[in-house]
Amino acid sequence: MTEGKSTPENPWPVRTVARKLLDWINRLGDVWVEGQVTQLNARSSTAFLTLRDPSVDMSMSITCNASMIRELQLTEGSRVIAHGKISFYPNRGTLSLRADDIRAVGIGELLARIERLRKLLHAEGLFDPRRKRRPPFLPNKIGLITGRASAAERDVLTNARNRWPGAHFRVVNVAVQGPMAVTQVMTALSTLDRDPECDVIIIARGGGSVEDLLPFSDEALCRAVSQCRTPVLSAIGHEPDIPLIDHVADLRCSTPTDAGKRVVPDVAEESERVRQMRDRGRRALHGWVDRERKLLDALRSRPVLSDPYGPLDRRAEEVNRLREQGRRAVTQRLDREDVHLSGTKARLTTLGPAATLARGYAVVQLVTPDGPDGVLRSVTDAPSGTRLRVRVVDGAVEAVVAKAEGGGTDDA
């Protein structure tokens, strides 16, 4: 009977599934595995330990010769590289790595890996200062991720509340070293980031060895911090300790004490600053009022405001004076023109024909058949044989009629 494909009508028995799993696992061959040792048991000739991935919540069982554990002096939390073959136990349905070689990861190798990861994250722009956010001046709630009852927690809370007694914290206690540290810190970071009241997050841990601070140089944790929407403050170890999370966080604090001082303002300093600003504002206001008062006094002391009618009176007097001058000038001009007109009129009267006629003279114009021939200055100037006739109306010569010989008469 062929096995075929498993269906509801033709299911596989457990032994078949176990055998297929064993075949697949056997094809995997030898593997090298890296992880962190947990649950170490080396009491007999065979040692049993659990190798855990420090970045995620996954682990696998390993069996090896107990002498390997004693030679390497492995303890829980050690980073190792194990070589072996995966074994599947069909009776229990479990997997285990039978290790034939275990190597401890030295400090030098760990530091080299951290340096390679640092260059990778820097090349991706996770350390770029332009992506870092400034923490709020006075956060509404402060999220704190730290170890339970640790000195780091006490330092952050004490220093923050000494500076600002009303500081409100939400503390999440996690493992800050060991195989569970990365997973728990990432879970706490995600929880606080989703809290709408949490304005800033502090990740704090006291000093320790390079191995103790390794979780804070984990790639998964660094990427989780870079993707966090809430500003993150890193306060890991002492001043010389610079795990990779310090480069990714929005603000690096040298110690947990420094984080407590930088996350909130100092109420005494702010009160003093407010007092100084109030004094400066008071002095500025008094100075402005004094300047404006002096300006008003100066304006009020000016003649135009102290005696507002004086300039009007002086201008009125000047207008009257100028008006009299204009009147006299016009009168004098009219008088001069009147005298001049009278003289011209007298000259015209003297030179006019009316004055001549009034003295008994006449103006006679000689008119010939060919037309007027000028004015006769004397009768003797008339041609011989010309007869003159003068008609006087109201004492004035109205017409002169001249008659030449052999001709008619014309009126002039």
pLDDT at 41: 83
> Who contacts 146 (Cβ-Cβ below 8 Å, separation ≥6)?
152, 153, 156, 171, 173, 174, 176, 202, 203, 204, 205, 256
pLDDT at 72: 78
pLDDT at 22: 80
Encode the chain (412 residues) as per-residue pLDDT tens digits: 456 678 887 888 887 888 888 888 888 888 888 888 888 887 778 888 888 877 677 888 888 888 888 887 777 777 888 888 888 877 777 888 888 888 877 766 777 788 888 899 999 999 999 999 999 999 999 999 999 988 999 999 999 999 999 899 999 999 988 778 888 999 999 999 999 999 999 999 988 877 778 889 888 999 999 999 999 999 998 878 788 999 999 999 989 999 999 999 999 999 999 999 999 999 999 999 999 999 988 888 887 777 778 878 888 889 999 999 999 999 999 999 999 999 888 888 877 777 767 776 666 666 667 766 666 666 666 666 666 655 555 555 444 444 444 444 444 4
Q: What radius of gyration, in Å, describes the C-alpha atoms of the chain?
A: 63
pLDDT at 387: 61
Judge contact between 225 and 232, C-beta under 8 A: yes
pLDDT at 410: 44
- CA-to-CA distance for 255 and 257, rounded, in angstroms? 5
Judge contact between 80 and 34, C-beta under 8 A: yes
CA distance from start to end of the chain: 171
pLDDT at 329: 93
> Who contacts 89 (Cβ-Cβ below 8 Å, separation ≥6)?
95, 96
Residue indicated by tokens 């980073």: 79
Residue 113 in 3-state DSSP?
A: helix
- CA-to-CA distance for 412 and 406, rounded, in angstroms? 19
pLDDT at 403: 47
pLDDT at 380: 66
pTM (predicted TM-score): 0.57
Q: Which residues of 79-93 are buried (b: 16+ CB within 10 A; e: fewer)?
A: bbbbebebebeeeee
